[in-house]
Amino acid sequence: MLKLVLFAALVANVIFTVSATETKKFSSSSASVSSSSSSSSSRSSSSSGSSTSTSSSSSQSSSLSSASSNSTYSNCNNTNKEGKCTKPNEVYEICPPKCPFRTCGIDDRLIDCMPPPQVGNPECPPPACRCKPGFFRDDKGNCVEWENCPVCTNPNEEYDPCPAPCPPRRCDVDDRLIRCKAPPQVGDPDCKPGCRCADNFARNDKGICVPRDECRKLKLS
């Protein structure tokens, strides 16, 4: 009888030990699964946030691109809403070079231009319409062929797309006694194209351009 009781107690102890071990394994497995699920959820949340950030960045980039496009055409002269030049013989340029001038009175063949800035360079001037190659802007703002540029018919005069108002090149004014400000450059809105006396000539009281030496002779007489 005593042996039977001891055997039963031994069996019960074994069952209890096995049950406790399995319970511990199950608890550890459950904790691991829970941790993995939490990590996956965190990654999903992070990915979602990243996606939202990317979407926001893309939207902002699109907005900036649109604004840039609008400002490009708003700065352009002689263009319609599509950004196309409205005058004949003109071409639209995003980064128009300042040289060659393509202006009547200036022979581009005699000018050695520096390489122009490329699109995107901060030194680019505002977009504008320029005369096509082989055409030159006249005193009325139209692009014409060189042979159709204004011609000065009076002797000793030459056409100047942006004549300097000072010195006046008149016989009654001695240029050596005048200090002039920097003259406007070609393309300046203050430029007034027209005919002027050629270098070393001055306009007399009859409106004719004569050599400077003749001006001095008139003063002496």
Lowest mean pLDDT among 5-9, 95-99, 202-206: 5-9
Q: How much of the chain, in percent, has pLDDT values that exceed 90?
A: 29
Q: What is the CA 80 to chain-centroid distance, rounded? A: 19
Measuring CA to CA, which residue among 80, 75, 81 is closest to residue 95? 75
Helices (H) and strands (E) in the chain, counts: 2, 8
Q: What is the pLDDT of residue 209?
A: 95
pLDDT confidence of 220, banded at 50, 70, 90? low
Query: Residue 33: which pLDDT band, with cuts at 50, 70 and 90?
Result: very low
> Over 50: is that where the pLDDT of 67 sits?
no
| 147 band by pLDDT with thresholds 50, 70 and 90 | very high
State pLDDT tens for residues 158-176: 999 998 888 899 999 888 8
Which residues, including other chains, have CB under 8 Å from residue 178's CB and lie 6 or more apart? 166, 167
Q: Over the stretch 82-126, which tens digit does the pLDDT of each residue have?
A: 678 999 999 999 998 888 889 998 888 888 888 888 898 998 989
More confident residue, 66 or 90: 90
CA 101/CA 185 separation, integer angstroms: 11
Tell me the C-alpha distance between 112 and 26, whole Å.
Answer: 87
The larger pLDDT score, comparing residue 217 to residue 63, is at 217
Are the CB atoms for 199 and 212 separated by under 8 Å? no
Amino acid in the structure at residue 79? T
pTM given for the model: 0.50
* Full set of structural domains in the chain with CATH: 83-149 (2.10.25.10), 151-220 (2.10.25.10)
Q: Average model confidence (pLDDT) for the chain?
A: 71
Judged against a pLDDT cut of 90, whether residue 9 lies above it is answered with no
Average pLDDT over residues 137-158: 92
The pLDDT score that the predictor gives to residue 28 is 44
* Residues paired with residue 129 on neighbouring β-strands, in sequence order: 92
Q: What angle do CA 129, 190, 194 make, to 5 degrees?
A: 90
Per-residue pLDDT for 27 more than 50? no
Return the residue matching tokens 């829970």.
Answer: 34
- Report cis status (omega within 30 of 0) of the bond before 189: no
175: DSSP letter: G
